Amino acid sequence: MNRSKTVETIFNTHSVVIGYILWIFGFTGSHRFYYGKPLSGTIYFLTLGLLGIGWLIDLFLIPGMDRQADMKYAPGPFDYTLSWILLTFLGLFGVHRMYLGKWISGIIYLFTGGLFGLGFLYDFWTLNEQVSYRNQGF
């Protein structure tokens, strides 16, 4: 009797440690953006972590958010955590885009302050998808 099992390999694309570090500032929604939840990240940002209640609950939800992100996003040569660090601290200069090989838009960001801040905000919503797309070879 031959039984075949489907084994799904899960790669560690996101870091629980970084998730908890971002959780410290969770009332800004940063940990939720990192784990690919931009809508709730925005809600947390506008409501100070749902008045602190959602922020406390997330203390226990981060391991699950990490597993979901690990299953959702493609692993590869581009590191999600490094991309997020570059976006957070140097995003207005386009360094995260240059890291992803998007040189033209990176240079545009460099001279326009992340397209006057709007592109910078857009990247907070879409960075995980951008990295995953690049990791898939596109």
pLDDT category, 5, cuts 50, 70, 90? very low
Q: What confidence score (pLDDT) does residue 7 get? A: 41
How confident is the model over 125-131, as a mean pLDDT? 97
Q: pLDDT by residue (tens digit) across 9-64?
A: 578 999 999 999 999 987 789 999 999 999 999 999 999 999 999 999 999 999 99
Contact 44, 32 (CB under 8 A): yes
pTM: 0.86
Q: Which secondary structure element, helix H or strand E, spans residue 32, and what is its range?
A: helix 30-34
State the Cα–Cα distance between residues 44 and 98, nearest whole angstrom: 29
